[in-house]
Amino acid sequence: MPERPVDEDSETGAASVPVTAENTRAVPRLQIAMTRAMGMPFFEGNRVTRIMNGEDIFEAMLGAIDGAELSIDLSAFIFWESEITERFIEALCDAARRGVRVRVLADGWGGHFVGDHMPGLLEDAGAQFAWFRPLKLKKGRDNFYRSHRRVLAIDNTVAFTGGVGFADHWTGDAEGWSRWRDSHFRIEGPAVEGLRAGFEEHWVEEEQADVSNLIERPTPMPAGPASLQVIRADTALQWNDIATAYQALVRAAAERLWISTAYFTPDPLLVNLIKEADGRGVDVRVMIPSLRQNDKWLATVAAEDTIRFFAGTGVRFYRYKPTMLHAKSMVIDDRGAVFGSANFNHRSMMTDDELIVVAVDTELNATLAADFETDLAECDPVDPADFERVSLKSRLARVLTRWKTSQV
């Protein structure tokens, strides 16, 4: 049968991708829209496992490190001196000593609280360590452009990504402010190559890796039903692919759009797209940390300054009360899900290098929807109209926030 362009999602603004009529019926609407918008295909045949909160997340990651045979690549934003960081250093050193090639890349800003001795421990064991864009006075404003990615890739067979960092905040089970609520994701299958590439391109930027030192890895085999699109965003000209992806995702939502994010400061275009989604009947809900629990006061003020623009719409907002909500995920309709390192804020869309995964996976969609509803029981609803009438103190805070908005 001849190929024809699909025009089902022309509102994404991307060029049409020719697909067969049979594929148009078989491929979900979200997958078609995102393939067009981002110009990149989905990896087929993956398994995604959501892991909740640090206690379980860290054990899963440490178990995978202990089982590594060929290579371990770890990219971290928050990499601070802590008991859990020391456990990972020890596991990585053990892997290097048994002959596994170990590479660790820590962001030059997010990792600046790591103990001075820790990189040396890795290198003494035979692992490789590098700082990503180390801070330098002569760089000036360029120091603001960070890697917020979180990737652990092992043997090209399994990878992890999500919101977790290496610090005490992520230990435990979200039982108080010092133990945060977060989600991380284990991926098996062909999409592992996409996540590993998110590490590799940053490693090459810092280390100018010798291609002759590349090691043979097994080709990832199909492992499950999930179709995954790995979006790696590099900041350039105050814009990156996360912004493009979020616009396309909001446009593609037809029934449900549930967002969990630590920081919520979308730009005016994205605000209008969310309003349009609400106007066409999409159930839009946004969950953010409570004012008391948010680790960044300025981010809370910035979120309130944004939320007020939704007054009079059906978009619903909630504040999570028990602890800092650091999870970063979206539930779209009955098959779509999004997870990774990016928040719904200016930094993730305009300043930081990020990595997200768009999933077409009914089971993962149901899992994240159930997580959202469970968290909802621990939330207070927010009325956007409350932020239209504010005190002089709040107005002054908003002026400061707008000046610093690119940093929240």
Return d(Cα 72, Cα 92) in angstroms, integer. Answer: 8
Cα separation, 209 vs 227, in Å, equals 31
What was the pLDDT predicted at 2? 33
Q: Is 129 helix (H, G, I), strand (E, B) or coil?
A: strand
| The pLDDT of residue 400 | 59
The whole-number pLDDT of residue 402 equals 54
β-strands 71-76, 101-107 pairing:
parallel
Quote the distance between the C-alpha of residue 302 and its chain's center: 20
pLDDT < 70 positions in the chain = 1-26, 208-216, 236-238, 389-408
Instruction: Select from 266, 250, 351, 340 the least CA-distant residue to 303.
Output: 266
Of residues 288, 347, 285, the one with CA closest to residue 310: 285
Task: Please report the domains of the chain, with CATH numbers, ordered by start residue.
Answer: 13-44+226-407 (3.30.870.10), 46-213 (3.30.870.10)
Q: Which of 52, 290, 327 is nearest to 163 (CA)?
A: 327
Round to whole Å and give the CA distance between 372 and 378.
10
Q: Cα dist. 159→186, 188, 203, 206, 398 in Å?
A: 6, 7, 17, 22, 40
Query: Which residues have CB under 8 Å from 90's CB, separation 6+?
Result: none
Per DSSP bridges, beta strands 256-260 and 283-289 are parallel
pLDDT at 176: 82
pLDDT value for 5: 32
Helices (H), 67-143: 83-97, 117-124
Distance CA 200, CA 103 (A): 10
The reported pTM is 0.90
CA nearest neighbour of 313 among 340, 269, 279? 279
Distances (CA, A) of 408 to 196, 264, 299, 350: 27, 9, 5, 10
CA 385 to CA 379: how far, in whole Å? Answer: 18
| Measured distance CA(263)–CA(248) in Å, rounded | 20
